[in-house]
Structure 1
Amino acid sequence: MDLSWLDHAHPEARDVDGVVAVFEAARVVDMPHWLGTTLSSFRSQLRYGWDGDPADVAVVHDRTGRVTGVLEVDLPTWDNKHLGSVEVTVDPSQRRRGLGRQLFEAGMDRVRAQGRDLVLSGGFDGTAAEGFLEAMGLKRASQEAERRLDLLALDDERLDQELAAAESLSSGYEVVRMPGRVPEDQLDAVVAMTAAINDAPMDDLEVEDEVFSPERIRAFETAQLASGRRLYRLVARARDGGELVGHTMTAVERERPWWGWQYDTTVTPAHRGHRLGLLLKIEMLRWLAADEPQLRTIETWNAVSNHHMVAVNEVLGCQVVATATEWQMRL
């Protein structure tokens, strides 16, 4: 098997076309509810990743030059330098011929070559990914639920009541809007606040806390903006002293402006118990209704075991559309 690794900044156009075609063919079979990958979104992901730390991507071609399989190997550099993530996508017309196994083994070899001893991978429950990853020797480590919020079906009267109740418990805080990039004079405070996400349940995943820095926040912003997403960050600030104590983030797709992604929502430990998470999320919906009136759907993910945030999302009206499992194996 000959692998062709894509250049992060200047990939061959035919390979980019081939990757997106394979992703779309697999999406239709494995996860038809999922938002498809576009040429521009893949190019941005290849160059910038989620936060300036992109995965390496390789393709395999058949004898006609058509891409038939895609290998993604993510080797984190901000933190968790003991692990690598391996994802394999095979054209449905070429499955059950051993190509997926060859690609996955090549990915594990790349993880080992970097001196890492844990491999992660994931996939939707009820798809071919389950049997494949089990056959590769990985074990289930965490389950997540994918939920969607239909903004055209919001119960605004009930949400107004929930907001009023949350405000009665959070009078010591004010809500501050931060669209786009974080202001320079607030960057260090946002870094400290963002680290509170490390309290989120990770189940049996053998991962370390995420490490945040001003450089990482800026790299995240650059990656998201380059991917064609408009960023909305809403922050809770203590009236006494001005400390930033919690935030929620949403991104809206520029090319598909009906679609939004819910990113982190977290409150620092010392300021929990004031319903700030719910307050921030409802206030975010009000902000988006004014600034992004065309928005119809917001997608959010949570660990099934994250009972507190699941409860908040259910108050908003989020509905489960799928579950997925994160798998791991020691090398």
Structure 2
Amino acid sequence: MKIIKLSPDDEVGCAEAVAVDSAGWKLDCPEVVQHTPRTFANMLRYGWDLEPPQAYLAREGDTAVGVLTVDVPQYENTNLTWIDVKVHPDHRGRGIGSALIEYGEQVTRDLGRTLTGFGGLDLPKAEAFAQRHGYEQKAIEVNRRQDLAGLDWGLVQRTYDESLAAASAYELLKVTGPLPADMLDGMVAVTESINDAPKDDLDMEDDVYSPERLRAYEEAQAKSERTVYRVIARRKDTGDLAGHTVVAVERERPYIGEQHDTAVSRDHRGHRLGALLKSAMLLWLRDEEAALTQIDTWNAESNGHMIGINEALNYRIVARFLNYQKSL
């Protein structure tokens, strides 16, 4: 078996990687949103905020049998990597996954990093794989999906109206694409509020934000062919930015939306801003994105407050993931 590093310009390799990845998801959890060759290549070019992962393809002869991605944080957590391993179902049980995770651990060591982690579906075989390689479960994350075609829009409107009444001291701003320059500093503080979300037992530092990183996120999303929608809450009397919610919609598959962030600053909590922001976003997207049929979100299973808002807006569970870490 050969393991080769993938380039986003390698159209054949990216297509092979996606074929391996998709075959696994179709067997283990077909509802999970899967990459296309285009979205996979964009991930390798731009990442989330111009911090792209490394990717490797395992081949036996001319047959692609496995994929490894290694996320290498640069803004914070510079002591760790995050590994993802996929093996084509036709080639499982032959040590390919073990070879790939060991390869990812060596990449981590070569980078001078001492901690790595990976996430897997909540399945017995994933748990056994983690234990076999010395990984310890640290957190549980849940992927939920909102079906817009079946959404009770009356419920969304009532949620909006009731939340608006509770948040009468605030106004909402809608921004598509890049933030206005005069909002950048205020949005740094709002975005950092995501650090209050539970990390459970993961050994991870808080995310570090700056105007430059927010611009990097906007650039990466635009170049990855996603339209970014933001609804921002602002205090009327002081002009302070209090919270935001962000959804990105794919242009290749405009029926797919991803919830990227929802956060409310500590000083502004207790006014139902979270419910107001999310319901306002749904009403806006209904008018702006006619083809949109689903929005996926991810939360720590322990994040009861945000899960409560999501469940009130008819999100349902798609998949449950276990996150593991290991010191090298």
Q: Is TM more than 0.5 here? A: yes
Which residue does the alignment assign to 2:14? 16
Which residue does the alignment assign to 1:93? 90
Determine the C-alpha separation between the residues in 1 that align with 2:83 and 2:230.
Answer: 31
Which residue does the alignment assign to 1:325? 322
Deviation for aligned residue 1:155: 2.1
Query: What RMSD over aligned residues (CA atoms) do the two structures have, in Å?
Result: 1.3
The one-letter code of the counterpart of 2:2 is D
Correspondence list, 1:144-159, <5 A: 144-159=141-156
SS of residue matched to 1:295: coil
Greater CA drift, 76-85 or 120-129:
120-129
Deviation for aligned residue 1:127: 6.1
Say if 1:17 and 1:39, in contact at 8 Å, map to a contact too.
Answer: yes
Alpha-carbon displacement from aligned partner over 1:189-225 (angstroms, at most 9, x marks no partner) = 1112100100000000000000011221111112212
Which residue does the alignment assign to 1:44? 42
SS of residue matched to 1:206: coil
Deviation for aligned residue 1:153: 2.0
Which residue does the alignment assign to 1:187? 184
Correspondence list, 1:131-150, <5 A: 131-150=128-147
Question: Structure 1 residues 127 and 231, CA, compared in 2 at 3 Å: closer, same or farther?
Answer: farther
Correspondence list, 1:53-64, <5 A: 53-63=51-61
Which residue does the alignment assign to 1:29? 27
Using structure 2 for the length normalisation, give the TM-score.
0.96
Say if 1:30 and 1:128, in contact at 8 Å, map to a contact too.
Answer: no
Determine the C-alpha separation between the residues in 2 that align with 1:129 and 1:52.
Answer: 30
Deviation for aligned residue 1:98: 0.9
Deviation for aligned residue 1:116: 1.5
Say if 2:230 and 2:244, in contact at 8 Å, map to a contact too.
Answer: yes
Using structure 1 for the length normalisation, give the TM-score.
0.95
The one-letter code of the counterpart of 1:172 is A
Alpha-carbon displacement from aligned partner over 1:61-111 (angstroms, at most 9, x marks no partner) = 112x22211111111001111111111111111111111111101111111
Correspondence list, 1:55-74, <5 A: 55-63=53-61, 65-74=62-71
Seq. identity, %: 43
Greater CA drift, 26-35 or 268-277:
26-35
Deviation for aligned residue 1:162: 2.3
Alpha-carbon displacement from aligned partner over 1:94-152 (angstroms, at most 9, x marks no partner) = 11111111110111111122222211100111263222122111111111111111112
Which of 275, 280, 291 in structure 1 is aligned with 2:277?
280
Alpha-carbon displacement from aligned partner over 1:250-291 (angstroms, at most 9, x marks no partner) = 111112111111111000000000000000000001100111
Which residue does the alignment assign to 2:112? 115
Which residue does the alignment assign to 1:225? 222
1:261 aligns with 2:273: no
Say if 2:108 and 2:114, in contact at 8 Å, map to a contact too.
Answer: yes
Which residue does the alignment assign to 1:214? 211
Say if 2:29 and 2:319, in contact at 8 Å, map to a contact too.
Answer: no
SS of residue matched to 1:215: helix
SS of residue matched to 1:152: coil
Greater CA drift, 12-21 or 187-196:
12-21
Determine the C-alpha separation between the residues in 2 that align with 1:96 and 1:140.
Answer: 22
Say if 1:232 and 1:251, in contact at 8 Å, map to a contact too.
Answer: yes
Structure 2: state its 5+ residue gaps.
none
Deviation for aligned residue 1:328: 0.8
1:161 aligns with 2:176: no
Which of 79, 83, 87 in structure 2 is aligned with 1:82?
79
Determine the C-alpha separation between the residues in 1 that align with 2:159 and 2:70.
Answer: 43
1:7 aligns with 2:4: no
Aligned pair count?
328
Say if 1:69 and 1:90, in contact at 8 Å, map to a contact too.
Answer: yes
Say if 2:32 and 2:318, in contact at 8 Å, map to a contact too.
Answer: no
Determine the C-alpha separation between the residues in 1 that align with 2:133 and 2:296.
Answer: 30
Deviation for aligned residue 1:44: 0.3
Determine the C-alpha separation between the residues in 2 that align with 1:319 and 1:21.
Answer: 27
Say if 2:188 and 2:209, in contact at 8 Å, map to a contact too.
Answer: yes
1:250 aligns with 2:247: yes
SS of residue matched to 2:2: coil
Determine the C-alpha separation between the residues in 1 that align with 2:60 and 2:156.
Answer: 54
Determine the C-alpha separation between the residues in 2 that align with 1:21 and 1:322.
Answer: 20
Structure 1: state its 5+ residue gaps.
none
SS of residue matched to 1:3: strand
Say if 1:30 and 1:127, in contact at 8 Å, map to a contact too.
Answer: no
Deviation for aligned residue 1:163: 2.0
